[in-house]
Structure 1
């Protein structure tokens, strides 16, 4: 029976004294990471039941990584929560999870209490004496392990929800094992690599970093969040740590190149740089290619619901302004296809349809949300398969070029990608509606300027609206431009005329 812990244990056996994780302050060898995870697991065994979610309200760190594996040793699945979440959103997340154990530290304990959480709290920053594990301790962990299965959930990741409530993508251990097997083979990741983890652990980009390291014996280098406001220090860090693999969000790479960071210093040890989350601007792509001509660049595409990515494309030439970098071709083990509005398969090049994915590594669905799961994870005909097959409707639009590569062509509905995050515009509108001084609202995304726009009617002034939205939304979901209007324009069908508002703004 396959289990993600088996990979950690085997790697610790092969490389006990090698650095497994380095967060810039604390380093653990693989043996230390394994021992730490087992200590956590032993404690958690008695605090919750197998199969339950355990939340972690804290920034990423070496200690948090060990705690994540400890949760898995306890037979549970982990859910990372950004500690900068506004209180109302934290309440929503906890109401979805219904967890009875949350890991945090003293800094964020009051947030949990303010959110009405009444379960067990484990403080990660509390001093504890850890005795060596006894044979009896290990037997206890193995007994819990014997009830585990590869289909058990490994983690949950919260994304924006169209109902105004965030939804939790639930991913199994087997889904991660299957994907990482293809991923590490495709990009030749080995124990010689040093992987620079940019993404926070509540973002699915981090899954590739963590499990590529754990399965191969590579070293995971956590890049502290504070460095992203200081590009020179960020580049110093990447160079000092001699990172060889970067799997980053587009916005993070663009932060360096657009602020001329590559003129200061170049991470010359990077042999491969992969990016995802948004469309990579070709101007920024060229800056990276010119700075690192020997480095391989890979465009990745895919939502959390199919465990990180479903397609990849090697960028082997300089693209010119106006060109689109392809999303590429499917990873082994999965089928990527397009459906038109009638549900028919699209095979001709250049014709746009909804991107759908079948095969390995589909998420189990949305935790405690059967209605949304049934809407997006459907069963039907899949090209190359006999009978009906389960697949995921991404809501993204795309087309196949004459080169047989998939090309991303935007969103089908009101979900957009902004700053590397998937956002439901309806969730932002729900936050507007919570404000007493707002009567009606409409949120748009200006693709040309890459900005969220918010329109509303009511008597609250614009600055106050902006301030109040911070109670309900993370910063990246708050519109950059908010405008009060006298009345909401309607189209001939009686719906808000979004096209008119977009034109008015521009």
Structure 2
């Protein structure tokens, strides 16, 4: 049983040395090659006498990023991935918080890193591969690493406008990946179609389940998501079996009727998380891929992406929301009301979802105040220290005893004397014919709900349908038709940008 993520690779490189581990449009790298390249990176860091220090990775999303990340882990340090497509202001903010000892980049990005490196040393990936690699020395360092040591600091998408660095140990990742493998029956025959950026928590299941199980991860070029025919052809050519994508990407492909462009019969599982999956577009996917299981995954970055999962096992009305399912085997959910009393059934109404787990992260890098705010003592346990994570998500039980996501606490508003979940409005708008994507925000200055939506539906038709679906106090005061919905770097709807736009409406 692995205790460190590198142990996955040690075992798999012996069992499947020449098998394709990671694939992008330009290169395929085997498990043994992944290990060798990772050890070269580790050796370069060990020779610098670095241990338990932050190392930033500044590279394009491609196969070499994986041994870069793993090499940092082998050396006993921890990584933060910076995408070269990130805005400079975001990169500088992350580097200012992280203060890395080293920035690992490749030759093509050396000049860009020189302008942002601050006090960090620059390590060039190609140089590391040409340097000496003393395996025994590296493995001796590896023996000093504990499962509780930090593997990475992942900076969240920052829906509030400020990214926070979530500190995650090896143990949390190993426990989640082991639990997910058991739940989803991953094997060496699986081919993961990676959509998520490598700095986004959803990517870790692609990366590390491949290491654990000897499967293959195909890193899909970002450009392909703008060209559905290319994307569908890539999935067919690579014989992808598992997708774990944000709903926004699935919605766009369904709306563009791209699902029949290629043969996707090898896909056995479509998972989604990070946002609510609209039922209308889910049904399009289910019709196009009748052989596949569809799974709603729930789990914040602070719980190492894990939490719960729901196999879609029945039909749902288009204005409904999917259950978030049952917790993974190493997670426990607690629904607490405003007085920290546990809600156990549908009669209790909605409450905040709190998580107890071996896969809880350590909180936020260099931000103890915020850490203490959401990682607290379990209020139901007064006998010994036991941390729980307050997700900020409001949930409730339905009549079947399933947990339903209601909305974010910060998306709940008080309007016209009523408590309103903006997610309730969005779920109903999603069911309107001709609406493709939508998002509701609240203009606090003008006390007005603003609906942004895309699609062919006329505003007058949207108004008529909303009047049938919602009480008057829930109907948005402004409705804005967009040609396209803005998305952040993770592919989610950019709520922060929309809220800023709504300030003038």
TM-score (norm 1): 0.81
Instruction: Report the Cα distance in structure 1 between the residues aligned to 2:70 and 2:448, rounded to whole angstroms.
Output: 40
1:26 Cα shift? Answer: 1.1
Q: CA deviation at 1:371?
A: 0.7
User: Quick one: structure 1 residues 290 and 81, their matched pair in 2 at CA, closer, same or farther if it must change by over 3 Å?
Assistant: same
Aligned equivalent of 2:55: 54
What residue ranges of structure 1 are gaps of 5+ in the alignment?
430-439, 452-469, 486-504
Structure 1 residue 239: deviation in Å? 0.3
- Corresponding residue number in structure 2 for 1:297: 294
Asked if residue 130 in structure 1 is aligned to residue 127 in structure 2, the reply is: no
Mapped contact 1:276–1:299 kept (Cα < 8 A): yes
Kindly indicate whether residue 268 of structure 2 is the aligned counterpart of residue 271 of structure 1: yes
Q: Quick check: 1:206 aligned with 2:203? A: yes
2:312 aligned residue: 315
Write the distance in 2 (CA, Å) between the matches of 1:388 and 1:444.
43
For the residue of structure 1 that corresponds to 2:71, the secondary structure is helix
Aligned to 2:351: 353
Indicate how the Cα distance of structure 1 residues 189 and 163 shifts in structure 2: closer, same or farther if over 3 A, else same: closer
2-side partners of 1:450 and 1:309: how far apart?
31
Question: Aligned residue for 1:82?
Answer: 83
Going from structure 1 to structure 2, the CA distance change for 1:30 and 1:116 (only over 3 Å counts) comes to: closer
Q: Is the 8 A contact 1:382 1:389 kept in 2?
A: no
- 5 Å matches for 1:279-290? 279-290=276-287
2:331 to 327, 334, 346: 334
Map of 2:5 onto structure 1: 4
User: What does residue 118 of structure 2 align with?
Assistant: 117
Taking the TM superposition and a 5 Å limit, the aligned residue runs for 1:74-473 are 74-115=75-116, 117-124=118-125, 126=126, 130=130, 133=133, 137-160=134-157, 165-349=162-346, 351-382=349-380, 387-413=384-410, 446=450, 449=453
Aligned residues: 443
Contact 1:266/1:292 (8 A) holds in 2: no
SS at match of 1:68: helix
Q: Secondary structure at the match of 1:261?
A: coil
Q: Please give the alpha-carbon distance, in whole angstroms, between the structure 2 residues aligned to 1:447 and 1:216.
A: 44
> Does the Cα contact within 8 Å between 2:265 and 2:291 map onto a contact in 1?
no
SS of residue paired to 1:32: helix
Cα offset, 1:106, TM superposition: 4.8
Residues 389-445 of structure 1, C-alpha deviations (whole Å, 9 max, x = no match): 211000011101122211001110259999xxxx9x99xx9xxxxxxxxxx999998
Structure 2 CA distance for partners of 1:19 and 1:441, relative to 1, 3 Å: farther
Once residues 99 and 444 of structure 1 are traced to their aligned partners in structure 2, the CA distance between those partners, rounded to angstroms, is 43
* 1:326-373 residue CA offsets vs partner (Å, 9 max, x unmatched): 111111111111111122111231510011100220001111111111
- 1:186-233 C-alpha deviation (Å, 9 max, x unpaired): 110001111111111011110111111100100111111110100111
Distance 2:206 2:445 in 1: 39
Q: Whole-Å Cα distance in 1 between the matches of residues 498 and 329 of structure 2?
A: 39
Q: Shift of residue 128 of structure 1?
A: 6.9
- Give 1:41 deviation, angstroms: 0.6
Please list the CA deviations of residues 278-303 of structure 1 after superposition, one character each: whole Å capped at 9, or x if unmatched. Answer: 11111100001001111111000110
Deviates most, 139-148 or 241-250: 139-148
Provide the C-alpha distance between the structure 1 equivalents of 2:7 and 2:328, rounded to a whole number of angstroms. Answer: 24
SS in 2 for 1:449: strand
Alignment correspondent of 1:459: none
How big is the alpha-carbon RMSD for the aligned residues of Structure 1 and Structure 2?
3.1
Task: Kindly state the Cα deviation for residue 130 of structure 1 after the two structures are TM-superposed.
Answer: 3.1
Q: Is the 1:53–1:99 contact (alpha carbons within 8 Å) kept by the matching residues of 2? A: yes
User: Aligned with 1:367: secondary structure?
Assistant: coil
1:115, distance to aligned residue in structure 2 (A): 3.7
Contact 1:20/1:220 (8 A) holds in 2: yes
SS at match of 1:402: coil
- Specify the SS of the correspondent of 1:482: helix
Name the counterpart of 1:36.
Answer: 37
Deviation per CA, 1:83-129: give whole Å up to 9, x if none: 222222222111110112112235544544444623111233x5676
- Give the ranges of 4+ consecutive aligned residues of structure 1 lying more than 6 Å apart after TM superposition: 415-418, 440-445
Q: 1:502: which partner in 2? A: none
Mapped to 2, the partners of 1:243 and 1:129 lie a distance apart of 30
Write the distance in 1 (CA, Å) between the matches of 2:403 and 2:327: 9
Structure 2 CA distance for aligned equivalents of residues 483 and 187 of structure 1:
41
Question: Structure 2: how far apart are the matches of 1:296 and 1:140?
Answer: 45
2:77 is aligned with 1:73: no
- Structure 1 residues 198 and 444, CA, compared in 2 at 3 Å: closer, same or farther? farther
Unmatched segments (≥5 aa) in structure 2: 413-421, 427-438, 456-487
Give 3-state SS (helix, strand or coil) of 1:174's partner. Answer: helix
Judging changes above 3 Å, is the alpha-carbon distance between structure 1 residues 484 and 18 closer, same or farther for their aligned structure 2 residues?
closer
Query: 1:387, CA displacement in angstroms?
Result: 4.8
